[in-house]
């Protein structure tokens, strides 16, 4: 399997430094191997999960709505450098690519080689895209190098310390005035039956998700990286949230 060298693919995506150590493969986080091997790192995972109807079913029919809500924050036409933190099953990245202006560039990172290969296979046209193996909690992009960053259903899969670092990294690499768009689970309103239906499902399959329910993404924002505004929206009776932080 060959991975695109991120620097060679896009000279202006502002990856940090040039020492070979910078590009040593990121090691696979223990939580991912232990908890999500069946969904992301096992070679058969892609064969099972890379189906649009299945990812839509997992989100109770809300995939397109949430995808479009996230992408609309970046604009009908996206300019500059955009970073997608972690691959997403389904057509999320294809829709993002379609919005890129001719000069725009998309960086996608993921820590799992299986997912990197899958994204290479899924994208027909990669002229404006760089895909690199990186850990979201230790990004190899310079400070303020991205015009926008999107983090779609990643935070609930992370232990709280990794989540903290990932949010901090997303802010660090975003330019002043740029947006960081988080879409993820959220604790639904009391009258929403999904508040009860989802607890056993998430507890069994996604053990780090419940503390995302109990907290607020806003509470995990790093104190040392200022932002100018934060907008929060919920969907589907509160089961999902979009949090947009403007640097
Ligand atoms: C974005 S999340 C979940 C998205 C959604 N559930 C879906 O349908 O794909 C899944 C991705 O996050 C990646 N991932 C998890 N932890 C990561 C980390 N620390 N750094 C980079 N990628 C990570 C996994 O390898 C996987 O490809």
Ligand 1 centroid – CA 152 distance (Å): 9
H or E, element range at 183: strand 174-185
Q: Which of 63, 111, 140, 166 to probe ligand 1 with, by most ligand atoms within 8 A of CB?
A: 111
Quick one: which atom of ligand 1 is closest to the CA of 151? Answer: 1
The predicted pLDDT at position 15 comes to 57
Q: Report the share of the chain in percent with pLDDT over 90.
A: 79
pLDDT tens readout for residues 24-36:
889 999 999 999 9
Least confident range of 46-50, 140-144, 158-162, 198-202:
198-202
Ligand 1 centroid – CA 157 distance (Å): 7
Residue 12 has pLDDT above 80, yes or no: no
Least confident range of 21-25, 55-59, 139-143, 195-199:
21-25
Query: What does the pLDDT average to over 217-243?
Result: 94
Helix, strand, coil tally for the chain in percent (to 5): 40, 20, 40
Quick one: which atom of ligand 1 is closest to the CA of 90? Answer: 8
Cα 54 from Cα 60, distance rounded (Å): 10
Residue 216 has pLDDT above 90, yes or no: no
Instruction: Report the predicted TM-score, pTM, of the whole model to 2 decimal places.
Output: 0.91
Ligand 1 centroid – CA 174 distance (Å): 20
Query: What does the pLDDT average to over 113-128?
Result: 95
Question: CB-side exposure of 39: number of CA atoms within 13 Å?
Answer: 15
The predicted pLDDT at position 16 comes to 53
Check pocket membership of 89 for ligand 1, CB cut-off 6 A: yes
H or E, element range at 146: strand 146-152
């Amino acid at each position: 399997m060959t991975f695109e060298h991120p620097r060679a693919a896009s000279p202006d995506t502002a990856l940090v430094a040039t020492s070979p150590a910078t590009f040593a493969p990121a090691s696979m986080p223990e939580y991912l191997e232990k908890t999500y091997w069946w969904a992301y790192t096992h070679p058969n995972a892609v064969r099972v999960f890379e189906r649009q109807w299945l990812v839509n079913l997992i989100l109770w029919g809300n995939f397109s709505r949430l995808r479009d809500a996230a992408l609309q924050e970046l604009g009908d036409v996206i300019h500059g450098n955009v970073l997608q933190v972690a691959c997403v099953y389904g057509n999320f990245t294809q829709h993002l690519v379609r919005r890129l202006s001719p000069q725009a560039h998309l960086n996608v990172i993921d820590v799992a080689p299986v997912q990197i290969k899958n994204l290479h296979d899924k994208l027909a046209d990669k002229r404006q895209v760089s895909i690199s193996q990186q850990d979201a909690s230790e990004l190899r992009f310079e400070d303020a190098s991205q015009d926008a960053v999107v983090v779609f259903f990643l935070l609930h899969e992370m232990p709280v310390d990794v989540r903290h670092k990932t949010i901090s990294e997303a802010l660090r690499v975003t330019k002043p005035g740029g947006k960081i768009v988080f879409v993820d689970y959220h604790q639904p309103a009391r009258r929403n039956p999904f508040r009860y239906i989802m607890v056993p499902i998430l507890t069994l399959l996604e053990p780090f998700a419940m503390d995302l329910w109990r907290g607020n993404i806003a509470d995990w924002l790093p104190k040392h990286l200022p932002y100018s505004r934060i907008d929060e929206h919920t969907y589907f009776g509160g089961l999902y949230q979009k949090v947009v932080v403007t640097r």
